[in-house]
Chain A
Amino acid sequence: AQKITQTQPGMFVQEKEAVTLDCTYDTSDQSYGLFWYKQPSSGEMIFLIYQGSYDEQNATEGRYSLNFQKARKSANLVISASQLGDSAMYFCAMREGRRINFGNEKLTFGTGTRLTIIP
């Protein structure tokens, strides 16, 4: 079974609108972490935001927020006031197990969503 599922292969959004990128995950661990990365056409993976499974509040980083619904096992990324520079591939990823254990920061990635911002 897929551990990380991103059901939107592509999205087109008007500039300045908010956009939600979907991510659902599957794990039996009680402790885990969820990440979102942005990959522009240059190829580099840019870390955007992190949510720990025990974090009570949804993570926010500037225009990025993570809508974490633990019971539904979803971790959607919300980008407010989208900009042309937001056009890129977006990947959701999960780390299973506790963060402090050596070597367990291995990430499992989804297949990504290609976001295109329309001017």
Chain B
Amino acid sequence: SQTIHQWPATLVQPVGSPLSLECTVEGTSNPNLYWYRQAAGRGLQLLFYSVGIGQISSEVPQNLSASRPQDRQFILSSKKLLLSDSGFYLCAWGRAGGPSSYFGPGTRLTVT
């Protein structure tokens, strides 16, 4: 069965510091991968998606970036965090033509 991991689970970072969140998927190959952000009390907003290694599409302009160095690894990064980057970050995977997107456990980021 497929499993999706995210770490860290929680993170508190000062404004201006860098960020690296990691997502890995097990039990499948060539998945579509997605980063979503959920602000407090809000729905999810798609940030990035990737259909393959090195292929990244950005949905929302911001100071975040994403990379996919391996087939089942998806990384969300920032060089300098802003207060507005606080939120709950969820990674998801899906297979084109397959069932719905499945989400990881999430990372709760607080920028102070």
Question: A: which residues have CB within 8 A of B?
Answer: 4, 33, 35, 37, 42-47, 50, 91, 93, 99-103, 105-112
Question: B: which residues have CB within 8 A of A?
Answer: 32, 34, 42-46, 49, 51, 57, 59, 88, 90, 92, 94, 96-97, 99-106, 108
Complex contact A106–B96 (CB within 8 A): no
Complex contact A105–B101 (CB within 8 A): yes
Complex contact A106–B88 (CB within 8 A): no
Contacts between chains A and B (CB distance < 8 A), count: 66
| Complexed CA–CA distance, A26 and B51 (Å) | 26
The dominant DSSP class at the B interface is strand
Complex contact A102–B106 (CB within 8 A): no
Min Cβ gap A58→B in Å is 17
A4, A50, A105, A110: most-surrounded residue (chain B CB, <10 A):
A105
Task: Identify the 6 closest CB pairs spanning chains A and B, nearest first.
Answer: A109-B43, A45-B103, A100-B97, A109-B44, A103-B51, A105-B94
Q: What are 19 contact pairs spanning A and B, CB under 8 A?
A: A4-B43, A37-B103, A42-B105, A43-B106, A45-B90, A45-B92, A46-B103, A47-B102, A91-B44, A100-B97, A101-B96, A102-B51, A105-B96, A106-B59, A107-B101, A109-B43, A109-B45, A110-B43, A111-B42
